[in-house]
Amino acid sequence: MWGNYDMREINLDSTREVEAVRAFLADFDLTFDGAVEYTVAFFQNEEMVATGSLAGEVLRNIAVSPRLQGEGLTANVVSQLMQQARQRGIYHYFIYTKPTAAPMFAGLGFKEIARAEPHAVLLEAGLGSIEEYCREIAKKAESLPAGPRAALVVNCNPFTLGHKAVISKAAADNKAVVVLVVSEERSLFPFEVRLRLVQEGLAEFDNILVLPAGKYIISAATFPAYFTRGEAAFQAQTRLDATVFARYIAPALGVDRRYVGDEPYCATTSSYNEALADLLPQYGISLTVMPRIMSGSEPISASRVRELVRQENWPAIKELVPATTYQYLLSPEAQPVIARIKASHSRH
């Protein structure tokens, strides 16, 4: 009990309870996709009056009945979600919300990172900050050669010759290149494997630094639509992620150019490229879009490699990936990943 309210943990395996949360959120133009670890709801006389969910470090789907706003329920919801996060060993928190709600969360100790008007604001609180993250990556980039510097953000699920071609072009055009590998664990290839394959595949270059992208680039906090189709705020998320990169990460790394591969097939990535093209020049950062590298009549892509894995077409795979990626795919270590690929048709 919190004062006059009854607090209950929602059973995420109960269709009835989940549908009640979904119906409540619909009145606030919020969706409930179920990709959460914990959901709490507050009731008054058996009527749901507030709710919120936890997904890793992200506090999301926070809503309070209009007739009870201003009575401290939002603080109660946030407090309960942060308590649950701490029990899971999480001490840093994000809130992704509408601009109109940002002052309320700022009043609860959250600091605004970036916004994409009129749709979304990203805030954070707890241990760690984007400034601390930027100091860490800046220190790692100190060893790179001086001069023009570019950056790429890649998922590499897995690392292909197409990825390598784009990065090689950036390395030839610039004195140094920073490759940021998406850290979110939403891909069929685990992050540690993706990171290692990129590092091994680029080992011949002495002007390339490969780093984990961390929680501020294409993550569950900045860009959930990258991993989940149908998000209503997709446009806002692409612009928010691009803004975070331009405002904080690019200056910390000393980069003034970003490279991306042309993406005529994936609508998500294509829209993301459009957001980058619009926003980056506003911060003095140019965008170079590289055409897709072809193998025969088809473009080289990680999704094509995964489909060939399902078909067990190893000669074709060998033509699309660096030797280091191919050796990994043939190794005993890769067998659990290959099993997941064969059992899934996920785009990630």
Q: How confident is the model at residue 223 (pLDDT cuts 50, 70, 90)?
A: low
Mean of the per-residue pLDDT values of the chain: 91
pLDDT band of residue 226 (cuts 50, 70, 90) is very low
Q: Where are the domains of the chain?
A: 6-128, 131-343
| Distance of alpha carbon 200 from alpha carbon 322, whole angstroms | 9
Which residues make Cβ contacts (< 8 Å) with residue 292, sequence separation at least 6? 162, 261, 262, 263, 264, 299, 300, 301
Output the six-digit token pair for 228.
């989940």
pLDDT in tens, 126-165: 999 999 999 999 999 999 999 999 999 999 999 999 999 9
CA neighbor of 28 nearest in space, from 74, 71, 72: 74
Phi, psi of 45 (to 5 degrees): 55, 45
Instruction: Return the pLDDT at 272.
Output: 87
Cα three-residue angle 86-73-17, rounded to 5 degrees = 75
- What is the Cα–Cα distance from 341 to 335, expressed in whole angstroms? 10
Q: Name beta bridge partners: 179.
A: 152, 210
Q: Is the domain defined by 131-343 classed in CATH 3.40.50.620?
A: yes
Give the CATH architecture of domain 6-128: 3-Layer(aba) Sandwich (3.40)
> Sorting pLDDT into bands at 50, 70 and 90, what band is 229?
very low
DSSP state of 249: I
Q: Phi first, then psi: what are they for 47, rounded to 5°?
A: -105, 130
Rg (CA), the chain: 22
What is this structure's pTM? 0.90
**Percent of the chain whose pLDDT exceeds 90:** 74
Q: What is the C-alpha separation between 55 and 323, in angstroms, rounded?
A: 37
- Alpha-carbon distance of 31 to 37, in angstroms, equals 15
Q: What is the pLDDT of residues 308-332, one digit of tens each?
A: 999 999 999 999 999 999 999 999 9
AA letter at 114 = A
**Whole-angstrom distance, CA of residue 38 vs CA of residue 254:** 39
pLDDT tens digits along 272-286: 899 999 999 999 999
